[in-house]
Amino acid sequence: MPAESLSFIFLNAALANNFVLALFLGLCPFLGVSGKLDTAVPMGIATSFVMLVSSISAFGINWILTSLEIEFLRLISYIVVIASAVQLVEMVLKKFSPALFHSLGIFLPLITTNCAILGLALFQTFKEYDFLQSLAYALGAGAGFTLAIVLMAGLRERLALANLPTPAQGAAMSLMLGGLLSLVFMGFAGLGGQ
Amino acid sequence: MSLHNPHIDWQTFTDGLWKENPVFVMLLGMCPVLAVTNSAINALAMGLATTFVLLASGLLVSLLRHQIPKQVRIATYILIIATFVTIVDYLIQAISLELYNALGAFIQLIVVNCMILGRAEAYASKHRVAKSLLNALGMGLGFTFALLCLGVVREVLGAGSLFGVDLFGSQFEPWVVMVLPPGGFIVLGGWLLLFEWLRERRAAAQLEKEAARAR
């Protein structure tokens, strides 16, 4: 178990190794839901919540699987837990905020296939974090994801007003913007380890 | 089966290669596209691994399409995909440990590649085995092609080499940023820009031809 402090793990996951901009995880919602700030913020929060739940469950599952020595089932068990966590969030949102539920649309169930979440569960297993470290890692990853998607949404709201040549309208320019954001986040690289 | 049909649907195969290319047109499965394409060999390995999972899961989903209950189909597809990804994961580890370390967690993350689930849901669950396999092969090769497009550009510019072979000699100053994360975004943005521009030019030429014919 690595002896990294909790604050280091948090900052590392949120900034220096931002899940979206440095590790390329969770790009589908990052490109798909970042059109407007109103949907980007709840999407970030919902994803962070699923991350937290799946991180805790993944920790428990990994403990069980290792003690039974059936680690090859890890991937399958993780994905099942994540799918259930997403289902939970979906039901809660549908009950308490139907408007939000509809504006997130297809991207809500697609959190299941958001690689940021499975990536988080896998990385925390590879790095052999203990329980508190896993929690800090999940919180940091969630904060980083929310930060990236909100920044991107702000940029794209501005971009919508800009006068672009027609081939550049759409995904190409969003990717270029993502590249610039990622370049900016590389400035944090001195902060963290790998 | 459609193999006896003289009008074998080559279109289901070729669509994936170009017209409905999963990466350049549908923008699916972005995460591995950007993450592992910092060298051409990684891109090729990732593309082939994904193609294998696509083929195997397409086969199984298509075979079981009448047995899988509608309510739990997504969960079933994910379990099928996860099984094959686990197989690929152990296979690559057995074949080349070096490659396995370079690709890291992204092999296991093939599970959450939305393209594979999308194919299972939209195609394999509705079509016969041969057709599903053809479609999966087309999509997989299209995906590999797109990965190679990115990997080649990024490796040539970022490291001055191709498939590990040095291209420019020692005086070449590599654009390190191209093998770093921002390079992935920028190169893919550049490819999309190029394709969009070509498509627009072709559409404009088409319009002109029709206008000339009308005159």
Distance CA A19, CA A82 (A): 17
Q: How far is A132 from chain B (nearest CA, A)?
A: 22
pLDDT level of residue B87 (50, 70, 90 thresholds): very high
Phi first, then psi: what are they for B9, rounded to 5°?
A: -75, 80
Instruction: Look at residue B101 in the predicted model and tell me its pLDDT.
Output: 87
Looking up tokens 């509809």 gives A102
Chain B contact for A182 (CB, 8 A cutoff): yes
B165 φ/ψ angles, rounded to the nearest 5 degrees: -90, 130
Confidence of residue A191 (pLDDT cuts 50, 70, 90): low
User: Following DSSP, what letter does each residue of B181-209 receive, concatenated?
Assistant: HHHHHHHHHHHHHHHHHHHHHHHHHHHHH
Q: What is the pLDDT of residues B113-144, one digit of tens each?
A: 878 888 888 888 888 888 889 889 999 999 99
Q: Which of B192, B201, B202 to mutate to test the interface with A (most CBs of A within 10 A)?
A: B192
pLDDT-based confidence at residue B1 (cuts at 50, 70, 90): very low
Q: How far apart are CA B21 and CA A70, in angstroms?
A: 38
β-strand partners of B162: B165
**What residues of B are in contact with residue A186 (Cβ under 8 Å)?**
180-182
Please report the pLDDT score of residue B141 as a whole number: 92
CB nearest to B185's CB, from A109, A123, A179:
A179
Residues 6+ apart with CB under 8 A from A192: A8, A11, A12, A15, A16, A17
Mutation choice for B interface testing from A18, A20, A25, A27 by most B CBs within 10 A: A27
Q: How far is B101 from chain A (nearest CA, A)?
A: 12
pLDDT score of B79 = 87
Q: What is the pLDDT of residues A87-126, one digit of tens each?
A: 888 888 888 888 878 877 777 777 777 788 888 888 888 8
Note whether B181 contacts A110, CB cutoff 8 Å.
no
What's the gap in Å between the CA of B73 and the closest CA on chain A? 13
Q: Where are the domains of chain A?
A: 17-23+34-185
Q: How many CB pairs under 8 A join A and B?
A: 115
Q: Which of A74, A47, A32, A63 is nearest to A139 (CA)?
A: A47
Percentage of chain A modeled with pLDDT above 70: 95
Q: List the single best residue of B106, B176, B193, B202 to mutate versus A (max A Cβ within 10 A).
A: B193
Chain centre to alpha carbon of residue B122: 16
The C-alpha atoms of residue A25 and residue A1 are separated, in whole angstroms, by 24
Averaged over B83-110, what is the pLDDT?
88
- The domain segmentation of chain B, as residue ranges, is 2-166+173-214
CA closest to B112 among chain A residues: A113
> Do residues A3 and A134 make contact, with C-beta atoms less than 8 angstroms apart?
no
Q: What is the pTM of this model?
A: 0.84
pLDDT in tens, A33-83: 778 888 888 888 888 888 888 899 889 888 888 888 887 888 888 888 888
Q: Which chain B residue has its CA at the smallest distance from A87's CA?
A: B75
Q: Which of A22, A83, A122 sits opposite B78 (nearest CB)?
A: A83
pLDDT band at A8 (very low <50, low <70, confident <90, very high): confident
